[in-house]
Amino acid sequence: MNLKHSRQRDSILEFLATRKDHPTADTVYMNVRQSFPNISLGTVYRNLTLLADIGEISRIRLGDGVDHFDYDTSPHYHFICSECGGVFDLNMEVTDTLTKAAQENFEGKIEGHVTYFYGRCNNCNPKH
Amino acid sequence: MNLKHSRQRDSILEFLATRKDHPTADTVYMNVRQSFPNISLGTVYRNLTLLADIGEISRIRLGDGVDHFDYDTSPHYHFICSECGGVFDLNMEVTDTLTKAAQENFEGKIEGHVTYFYGRCNNCNPKH
DNA sequence: GTGTTTGCAAACAATTTGCAGAATT
DNA sequence: AATTCTGCAAATTGTTTGCAAACAC
C-alpha cells in the first residue's frame, strides 16, 4: 500500500493546518472546494481517514455525532461548547494519573483514555 | 409534555436494569422483542431517548459509532475494549480535579468532562 | 505500464420522524 | 374525550464503498 502524491490530499492537509477549530469533514469539503471545485465529499472522507490512519492528523470524537479533525496531533485536551458546538484546545497538561488510577482495580490492560470537557465557551457564557 | 404509562417502556427499563454491560439500542430491541414481538426499533429508540432525557437512564457515547445505554446513572467511569468492543464499569472514584485544572486557563465555563478508558479487557488480553 | 487516486453515485449504519391507529388516563 | 404512545415505513445524517476514468510514478 504505497502512497502516491495527490493535489487534493495536499489541499486538505493545507487547509486543516490553517484551522485551530477542528473542522468536520463537511467543513473541509466546503473549503477545499474553493480550490478544487470538482472534489467530492467521498475524496475528502477518504483522505481524512487515510491521513488519520498514518498519523498525520487526528480524528476527534466528541459525542456530538460528527467526526472532527485536528492538524495538531500532539496530545492535548479539547473543550466543546454545549451551546454553539465550537471546539477549542485547552491549555493544560496531559496526565496519566487517571489511567494509572483506573488500572488499579481493573484486570485487563488499560492503554489510555479519552477525555473532553464541555460547558459554555466565552462567547456563549452570559456575563453579569 | 405529560407522561403516560406504557408497557413497552417498562419492559425496556426492566431489561436495562438486568444488564451491566451497557447495551445498544439494537440489543435492547432484540431482547425486549421476546416479550413484545411486535415492538419496533423506533419505539425502542424513542423510549431510550425519553428515558435518558428525564434522567432515568444515561446515554453513553464511546466513539465507537453506537450509543450505549446504562441503567446506572450515578457518576462512574467506563472502559471499552478495543478488541471485543465490550463495555465495563470501572471501580474508581470520580474526581473533579481534571475539571478544575481545565478551568484555570480557560475563559468560558467548564461544566464537566467526559472520560472513558480503552485497552484490552481481561478476556482479550493475552496472558504469558 | 502499473498501481494509486479521483469523482460520482449508490450503499450503508445508526437514528429520527410523520402518520394513522391503539393504548392510557 | 383528550392525549400520549405505538408500529410501520420513509426520511435523515454521517460515512463508506464499487467502479471506470484520470493521475502519479
Which residues have CB under 8 Å from B41's CB, separation 6+?
Answer: B25, B26, B29
Q: What is the pLDDT confidence band of residue B102, given thresholds at 50, 70 and 90?
A: very high
DSSP at B125 = S
Say yes or no to pLDDT of B127 above 70. no
**Is B2 part of a structural domain of the chain?**
no
Distance A36 CA to C7 C1' (A): 12
CATH number of the CATH domain containing B54 = 1.10.10.10
Considering the domain architecture, whether residues A15 and A53 belong to the same structural domain is answered as yes
Which residues have CB under 8 Å from A82's CB, separation 6+?
Answer: A118, A119, A120, B111
Considering the domain architecture, whether residues B19 and B55 belong to the same structural domain is answered as yes
Q: How far apart are CA B11 and CA B6, in angstroms?
A: 9
Considering the domain architecture, whether residues A30 and A53 belong to the same structural domain is answered as yes
**Is A126 part of a structural domain of the chain?**
no
Q: How far apart are CA A125 and CA B8, in angstroms?
A: 40
**Average pLDDT of the residues in B53-76:** 95
**Average pLDDT of the residues in B16-20:** 96
Location of C-alpha cell 472534489: A39
> B66 is in which domain, residue-wise?
7-70
Q: In this complex, is the C-beta atom of B99 within 8 Å of any C-beta atom belonging to chain A?
A: yes
User: In chain B, which among 13-72 make CB contacts under 8 A with chain A?
Assistant: 61, 63
**Is B26 part of a structural domain of the chain?**
yes
pLDDT digits (tens, 9 = 90+) for A16-56: 999 999 999 999 999 999 999 999 999 999 999 999 999 99
* Beta carbons of A57 and A16 less than 8 angstroms apart: yes
**Is A127 part of a structural domain of the chain?**
no
**Is B126 part of a structural domain of the chain?**
no
Number of domains present in the structure of chain B: 2
pLDDT digits (tens, 9 = 90+) for B82-91: 888 899 999 9
Say yes or no to pLDDT of B122 above 60. yes
What's this model's pTM, rounded to 2 decimal places? 0.91
